Chain A
Amino acid sequence: MSAYPDAERKPRMGFFTDTTVCIGCKACEVACKEWNLVPEDGYDWLGQSYDNSGELSANTWRHVAFIEQDKPLKLDAGDFAAADAEPEPLRWLMESDVCKHCTHAGCLDVCPTGSLFRTEFGTVVVQEDICNGCGYCVPACPFGVLDKRHLPRRPDDAPLSLPLLGKKEDGRVWKCTLCYDRLKGGHEPACAKACPTDSIQFGELDELRERAEQRLAKLEAENWNGPRLYGHDAEDGVGGFGAFFLLLDEPEVYGLPPDPVVPTRHLPRLWKSTALAAAALTLGLVAAFAGGAE
């Protein structure tokens, strides 16, 4: 972010996704696809509650997770129940997942072409005219957000050219841009605009963090079962998320890593180890010449 001169730098923008008010309508998934012209990725029935998109991918930049649990939503019966009622035995969790736009972004660090870059809003975006589809960002993301785009092929499509001479399918990686084009025009991202319950809140990150703390305190006071913020801490393994969450269970229940760390955090040590191994290789091969040619 420091790469931008003061005149161009903008406050860091992000999402606060409050899953406690998500109703699983998937308007965010649809609005994202429509605005960003994201292609279809097959019409599959996954048999996983109401989730049929499964995971974030090159063609799914907002993904709503559905979790059916034998757990009460609140630890007491709540405001509307009779005084002697038991807590509700079941709850249905829904969470709209998205690229985290990490402070220390593994994808951006490892991108060898400079295609991935940090915008003046502090978000992380792929430049599709630069990406050459090396795929390094795919395993470098601790959240499994990025993927190469595969397009379903139809019988009348032109045959794929030889691998060395042209592109294979689309070939590039795609992910959420936090609607960089809309932000440039002073609009909020399509998913946040479409969200009917304000589960997806867009704004300046500092302000969102304050709002999240207040919301968490309220839920705790109301005896909700397991509310916690995920990704709001600037001291965590990726330096805090630009898009963080309020969850009602452990992150892994939502398919999120419990303690994500940017791979490059270990890189200084890794480079040292690589250099030492290179030196050892040289010395080892020199030693192989001791004792002559026979």
Chain B
Amino acid sequence: MKPSVTGVGTTMGSYYGRPIVKEPTWQPEIPFYLFTGGLAGASSVLHGVARLTGNERLAKSALYVGAAADVVSPVLLVSDLGRPERFLNMLRVFKVTSPMSVGSWILVVSGGASNAAAVLELWGKLPRLKALAELASFVSGPPLATYTGALLANTAIPVWSEARDELPWLFGASAAATAGAAAAIATPTEFAAPARRAAIGGAIAELGLLKAMERKLGFVGEVYERGEAGRYAKISKTCVAAGAGLLALAGRRSRTATVAGSALVLAGELALRWSVFKAGFQSARDPRYTVIPQKERKRRREAS
């Protein structure tokens, strides 16, 4: 019997303190993919809008950054499979009940489109086909950046599942900050203002959403203050806030400040993905996070 942390004087039975839900079997490839997938998705949008507004310099850097992230992403995912040689089985079916199935198809479309656009940009031919690829990449980019939130929330892991209203938004905001920061590094200062604003705006939104998520999760969310998830969360908040602050204060004038600020935002957003990833493992490991909210839910249902 372990003492409950929510109810005063109540006790919770458990089977030798063993976990009830299984920890994910996912390896470090996955948090890195959460980062590169977000970077790829939001870069596609940044690229599209930059092209439409005639900011060719920014359009090009966002295009190349996004295409590179779209090359790395599937490599990370395939490497994480228990049977990498069977990766094409992902495309046997399309299942709307599986965010991983939907996400695989989004990644195929988005990755294919952004890489086609990048190759055609370098080659300088077939402008119509390039425009088509850019359009496809623009449309499939945003869901690529947010579906990973649904992927994690659609599990039995309490700290992910209970954050189902926040995770897609958190990952979307994080993706905007990531893509903005990466493009700000890759673009001369005089063309980089929209990228800087995306980095700053995304960072502010991400920090706010993280706060809202932690508040809503309550007791289940305490893993974000503990262990590895807690350490990564602290690193993330510090880096993101410092980076966004530096970009806002000095990004317009100083190239050094832009690079330093953007690097801090990138590091902070990577740490955010790691924090969320690790929180899921910690949440699965302790049966209290599974049992106490379920008993509470059952009690409320039976009372009404």
Chain A interface residues (CB < 8 Å from chain B): 46, 48, 51, 54-55, 65, 67, 106, 109-115, 130-136, 138-148, 163-173, 249-250, 252-260, 263-264, 266-267, 269-271, 273-282, 284-289, 291-294
Contact = CB atoms under 8 A, between A and B. Distances in A.
Contacts of A252: 12-15, 20, 287, 291, 295
B294 A281 contact: no
B202 to A, nearest CB: 7
Contacts of B90: 112-113, 132, 134
Given A131-B83, A134-B80, 18 more contacts: A55-B18, A55-B19, A67-B15, A112-B95, A114-B92, A132-B90, A133-B86, A139-B21, A144-B19, A169-B82, A254-B15, A259-B297, A259-B298, A263-B161, A271-B96, A277-B172, A281-B172, A289-B55
A124 B17 CA distance: 28
Contacts of B21: 139, 141-144, 257
Q: Is the interface of A mostly helix, strand, loop or mixed?
A: loop
B304 interface: no
A148 B49 contact: no
Contact of B98 (A131, A136, A164): A136
B98 A110 contact: yes
B153 interface: yes
B298 A134 contact: no
B294 A257 contact: yes
A270 B168 contact: yes
Interface stretch (B190-198, B214-222, B235-243): B190-198
15 contacts: A110-B155, A115-B89, A141-B22, A143-B21, A147-B25, A164-B78, A166-B85, A267-B97, A270-B168, A273-B165, A274-B147, A274-B168, A275-B146, A278-B142, A284-B201
Interface in B182-205: 190-195, 197-198, 201-202, 205
Contacts of A279: 142
Given A277-B146, A285-B46, A144 B175 contact: no
Contact of B156 (A65, A139, A269, A288): A139
B18 A274 contact: no
Contacts, number: 277
B91 to A, nearest CB: 9
Contacts of B89: 113, 115, 130-132
Contacts of A276: 168-169
Nearest to A46: B16
B250 to A, nearest CB: 14
Interface stretch (B64-72, B99-107, B223-231, B261-269): B99-107
B84 A136 contact: no
A144 B20 contact: yes
* Size category of the binding interface on chain B: 35 or more
Given A135-B25, A147-B22, A164-B84, A267 B193 contact: no
B169 A273 contact: yes
B146 A278 contact: yes
B119 interface: no
Given A134-B100, A252-B287, A139 B155 contact: yes
B79 A274 contact: no
B194 A289 contact: yes
A46 B143 CA distance: 46
A168 B101 CA distance: 22
A9 B10 CA distance: 48
B111 interface: no
A110 B97 contact: yes
Contacts of B75: 164
Among B92, B154, B165, B298, max chain A CB count under 10 A is at B154
Among B15, B75, B79, B252, max chain A CB count under 10 A is at B15
B97 A171 contact: no
Among B98, B145, B146, B284, max chain A CB count under 10 A is at B98
Nearest to B298: A259
Contact of A270 (B23, B83, B164): B164
Given A54-B18, A255-B15, A132 B168 contact: no
Nearest to A149: B82
B208 interface: no
A277 B98 contact: no
Nearest to A97: B15
B41 to A, nearest CB: 8
B270 interface: no
A115 B179 CA distance: 35
Given A67-B15, A259-B295, A273-B165, A110 B92 contact: no
B55 to A, nearest CB: 5
Nearest to B99: A110
Nearest to A136: B100
A294 B20 CA distance: 54
Given A132-B83, A291-B197, A259 B150 contact: no
Contacts of B25: 135, 138, 147-148
Among B18, B41, B142, max chain A CB count under 10 A is at B142
A172 B192 CA distance: 46
